Structures are given as C-alpha cells and as structure tokens.
Amino acid sequence: MKALIIDDEDLARAIVREHLAAHPDVEVAAECANGFEAIKAAAQHQPDLIFLDIQMPKLDGFEVLELLEAEGKRPAVVFVTAYDQHALRAFEAHAVDYLLKPFSKERFDAALAKARALQSAQPLAPPSTAAAELASFARLGKPLERIVVKDGPKVTVVHLDRLDWVQAQDDYVLLRTEGKNLLKQQTLASLETQLDANRFIRIHRSYILNLDRLVRVEQDSKEHRDAILRDGTRLPVSRAGYQRLRELWEGA
C-alpha cells in the first residue's frame, strides 16, 4: 500500500510516519505540508491511501479531496485533525476513518486496518458521487468562503468577495471573477446550496449573482428584466428571480 502524509505541522507528519514504520507493507511515497503539494504528489505517486489534515494553508483537506475527485483519482482517505466539528462531513465523503489528535497507536492501527480491509474489498464510491455529497453536506456548515478551480495542472482559488456572477453551462459553471472566466465541473444547483443566500441570489435559472455587484434592475418589457452590474454587465432576471430580490429588499 502506497501512502501520502498531508499535514502542515511537522510534528503531526512525524507521528503518522512513526506509526507507519511498524507496518512494512505501507510505503510512505511523500509528505506534504500544504494542499498544493498534496495535489502534485498524488498525481506523481498515485497513492492508495492518504492521511489528510483538514485545516491547512492554501487549500484545506476537503478542497484537496475535491480536486483529487475531479481528476478521477480518489484514494482511500483517513482524516487526521485536531477538530471534531468536521466529522460528519468527513464520513459523508466516504472517509475511511477520522483520527482526532492526539490519538493512540492502537487507534491509528485500527484506522489502517479499515483502509486495508477496504482495499481488499469493494472500491470507494465513484468520484462523482463523493463530490456531490461534499457539495450537499457543505450546507450543514458555514457557507463557502472560496471556490477551488482546477484547469489541467493549474489550480485557481477564487475568494467569494471577488466573484461577480455564476452561469450554468450544462454540467459546468462559469465563474466570473476579476475580469476572467473560469470553468468548474459542478452544477449550478449544487453550487447554490454552498453559497451564502444573503450574498448570492439565483436571479435566473442560469445565473447566480453577487448582490454586491448589483446597481439596479431594468424592465424593458412586461416580461423581461435585466440586472445591471457595476461594470455595465447585463444579466437576465426571471420572474422568480425578481421575486427573490424583492423579498430580500423588503426584508432588509
């Protein structure tokens, strides 16, 4: 079994490495101190198992998992973290186990045994299923603060205060940010559940708008309205979308 250790703390990686030393059938292919290193190492080594911290700089553990799934390279995952509030989301993402720091050698060995049993039995849930569950369970916690987009070897992190609007394009969404268009493989409906409903409004079946960018709504016919943005962009507003905007304005 080939494994990666992903944690921004040197001591935490050392502890996992020390526990793995007692298991000669497990090869530590690489150690990574952040999410970007993890994505590169996973592409290079194709691990069977990753020990993954959640709160890390640059990319957190769930964002790392999302990018691996987008590549169709889903290894078994044991989350290793000091925070227990992510446990539900981790298990719904089909994590093998959730180790809460500090943990004993016995507890670590039990997690590794689960990973071995899983490897010898049936494969994990398909990437598309796991990715959908990550999206649906994000609503149980706080809204997204950033969106991670992978385009070949390039990874872009979009902070939501820089996101202007989102457009549905079949099974993708087009993200408009800082004058650029980025494509992400995700449906508009699933992304909508992850966004702060007080900041991002579904104004049309194909568009979600950052309210900070809205200047006014113009009506040029009985049935047609446009949202006018700060940069002059015009986006269509459906009847249902206009009703959502009115409800928000009236409740403000």
Q: Do domains 2-136 and 148-251 have the same CATH topology?
A: no
The full DSSP string for the chain is -EEEEE-S-HHHHHHHHHHHTT-TT-EEEEEESSHHHHHHHHHHH--SEEEE-SS-SSS-HHHHHHHHHHTT---EEEEEES-STTHHHHHHTT-SEEEESS--HHHHHHHHHHHHHHHHSPPPPPHHHHHHHHHHHGGGSSPPSEEEEEETTEEEEEEGGGEEEEEEETTEEEEEETTEEEEESS-HHHHHHHS-TTTEEEEETTEEEEGGGEEEEEESSSS-EEEEETTS-EEEE-HHHHHHHHHHHHH-
What is the structure's pLDDT at 153?
Answer: 72
Q: Answer whether CATH 3.40.50.2300 is correct for domain 2-136.
A: yes
The residue extents of the domains of the chain are 2-136, 148-251
Tell which wins on pLDDT, 120 or 142: 120
Q: Where is mean pLDDT largest: 48-57, 83-92, 208-217?
A: 208-217
Tell which wins on pLDDT, 223 or 4: 4
Which tens digits make up the pLDDT trace of 21-45? 999 999 999 999 999 999 999 999 9
What is the structure's pLDDT at 57?
Answer: 81
19 and 11 Cβ atoms separated by less than 8 Å: no
In the predicted model, is pLDDT for residue 123 greater than 60? no
pTM, full prediction:
0.65
Q: What number is the average pLDDT over the span 61-88? A: 83
* Side-chain-side CA neighbours of residue 148 (13 Å): 23
Q: What number is the average pLDDT over the span 128-145? A: 50
What is the structure's pLDDT at 141?
Answer: 53
In the predicted model, is pLDDT for residue 2 greater than 70? yes
Which tens digits make up the pLDDT trace of 7-25? 999 999 999 999 999 999 9
pLDDT band at 185 (very low <50, low <70, confident <90, very high): confident
Average pLDDT, the chain: 86
Q: What number is the average pLDDT over the span 181-209? A: 93
Q: What number is the average pLDDT over the span 45-68? A: 90
What is the structure's pLDDT at 120?
Answer: 76
Topology of domain 148-251 in CATH is: OB fold (Dihydrolipoamide Acetyltransferase, E2P) (2.40.50)
